[in-house]
Structure 1
Amino acid sequence: MQKEELLHLHMLLVQVKKYYETVTGEEIQADQYNALHISPVHIHKNKVTHKKAILTLGNEIVQHIRANHNPYIQYQTDFQSQSERIATEH
């Protein structure tokens, strides 16, 4: 992945976090991400640093959602083929 793509993905992930916080009113604690002292506008940082920031922030967002929301996932069998399963979230 090119550095420009990583920067774009990093910016999108930060926007996802902000949007989630705005919509739900919940604050996502991103202590590990904040400890990296990097943001998408730090274009002088290398690709590895941005990749680590993306993975860290993504992990903290997922951990927050898992800890605060227990989605009910139900698997339904397709009537035509018993081997295919579809996951639906309620």
Structure 2
Amino acid sequence: MYKDEMIQVHQFLVYMLKYLIDDEEIEKNCKDYISLKINPHHIHRTKAEHKKAIFVLCKTISEVVANKDPGSIPPNVSNTLDDLIKRTEKEINYA
């Protein structure tokens, strides 16, 4: 996937997250994403950094959905996303 496509996916996931949770819950649920200090409009950041942000957002969204509707998302989804986040961190460190 090209970098500009990743940025578009990143933006879509941010919109989805904002749709799913209220503004006051964002800080509580999105600590990992906020700590990355990367937003879709940060086009100067690397492709790997946007990729990590996408995986962190996916994990957060899956946890929010699982909390709202228990049993809707298997717990191994979160574990798999954790693995992907760790792999992406290695990519960032090698760059």
TM-score by length of 1: 0.69
Higher relative contact order (CA 8 A, sep 6+): 2
Paired position in structure 1 for 2:80: none
Q: Residues 1-90 of structure 1: matches in 2 within 5 Å?
A: 1-21=1-21, 27-28=25-26, 29-71=29-71
Identity value in percent: 37
Q: Which residue number corresponds to residue 88 of structure 1?
A: none
Q: Unaligned stretches of 5+ in structure 1?
A: 73-90
- Alignment gaps of 5+ in structure 2: 73-95
> Aligned AA for 1:46?
T
Q: Which is strand-richer, 1 or 2?
A: 1
Aligned-CA RMSD value: 2.3
SS of residue paired to 2:21:
helix
Distance 2:24 2:45 in 1: 30
Residue 35 of structure 1 aligns to which amino acid in structure 2?
Answer: S
Scaled by the length of structure 2, the TM-score of the pair is 0.66
Q: Match for 1:27: what amino acid?
A: E
Aligned pairs, how many? 71
> Going by fraction, where is helix more abundant, 1 or 2?
2
